[in-house]
Amino acid sequence: MPDSTDISDLERRITAALDRIRRGIDAIPEPAPAPEISAEDHAALSQRLEEERTANAQLEERVRVLKERQEGRIAALEREVAAERERAGRLDGDLQALRQANAELSDTVAQLRGALEEGLDDPALVNRAILAELEGLKAARAADRTEIEEILAELRPIIEEAS
């Protein structure tokens, strides 16, 4: 499958060929109104002109197909980039939540440790520590889920291509 540089090179070559054909067609003199041209010569020139027009039409069709293919690839790449940005945004949000939950857990554990050293029994503090740990686990799970979704998104095309 040609890459974009191959396509660009082909487009450039086809465009140059089309320009040469156009110059060649423009350089073909108009038939003189004088009857010196025989019917055979006229038929041969008409045949050559028709062949050039056919070649020109074929080249123009190839250029059109190449442009469509390239535009399709560009659109597909733009969709992939948008999906990657969306996944990266979700992962970043999950990581921020995980960091926040871990910070809260560290703070609560420090407070709990201080209370235990002082011999204080504070059920509300223990409850906060458990809730902070639960939030940390939820945030870690969300980050893991986002990472798994990214891996699956990468594997899906490979699996579909293999089947």
Q: In this predicted model, what pLDDT tens digit does every residue of 58-111 receive, in sequence order?
A: 999 999 999 999 999 999 989 988 988 888 888 888 888 888 887 887 888 787
Query: How do the domains of the chain map onto residue ranges?
Result: 4-27+39-162
Predicted confidence at residue 38, as pLDDT, reads 80
Q: In this predicted model, what pLDDT tens digit does every residue of 54-71 receive, in sequence order?
A: 999 999 999 999 999 999
Quick check: pTM over 0.75? no
- DSSP result, the chain: ---HHHHHHHHHHHHHHHHHHHHHHHHSPPPPSSTTS-HHHHHHHHHHHHHHHHHHHHHHHHHHHHHHHHHHHHHHHHHHHHHHHHHHHHHHHHHHHHHHHHHHHHHHHHHHHHHHHTT---HHHHHHHHHHHHHHHHHHHHHHHHHHHHHHHHHHHHHHHH-
More reliable by pLDDT, 20 or 102? 20
Predicted confidence at residue 11, as pLDDT, reads 87
- With 90 as the cut, is the pLDDT of residue 48 above it? yes
